């Protein structure tokens, strides 16, 4: 068993849920997060800057098996190839040493 974590801007939340479903990952959790990017010092020092430095995003995670994770990663790679934005889905896998 491993922990798979996927992050996506809010706009793609329904798409990511479909990808988890296609990968046969039935149990997952989500939480709302703010995705931040490093910004140049000049912008950061301007308190009245109109620039948006954070994106409303969603973090998805599930404890699942290698087979489903491999399928999910393939689906995410295909999804990212067809994207027209600079906000690809990001995914990582964390091995679980022990669980109850």
Closest among 96, 77, 98 to 88, alpha carbons compared = 77
pLDDT band at 39 (very low <50, low <70, confident <90, very high): low
Q: What pLDDT does 27 receive?
A: 96
pLDDT tens-place string over residues 46-77: 544 455 567 789 999 999 999 999 999 999 99
64: CB partners within 8 A, 6+ apart: 1, 2, 4, 25, 27
pLDDT tens-place string over residues 6-34: 999 999 999 999 999 999 999 999 999 98
Domains of the chain: 2-95 (3.30.70.120)
């Amino acid at each position: 068993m491993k922990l798979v974590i996927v992050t996506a801007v809010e706009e793609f939340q329904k798409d990511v849920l479909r990808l988890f479903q296609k990968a046969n990952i039935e149990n997952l959790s989500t939480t709302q997060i703010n995705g931040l990017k490093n910004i140049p010092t000049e912008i950061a020092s301007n308190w009245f800057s109109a620039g948006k430095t954070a994106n409303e995003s969603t973090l998805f995670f599930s404890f699942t098996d290698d087979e489903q994770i491999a399928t999910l990663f393939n689906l995410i790679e295909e999804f990212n190839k067809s994207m027209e934005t600079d906000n690809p889905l990001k995914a990582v896998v964390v091995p679980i040493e022990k669980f109850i």
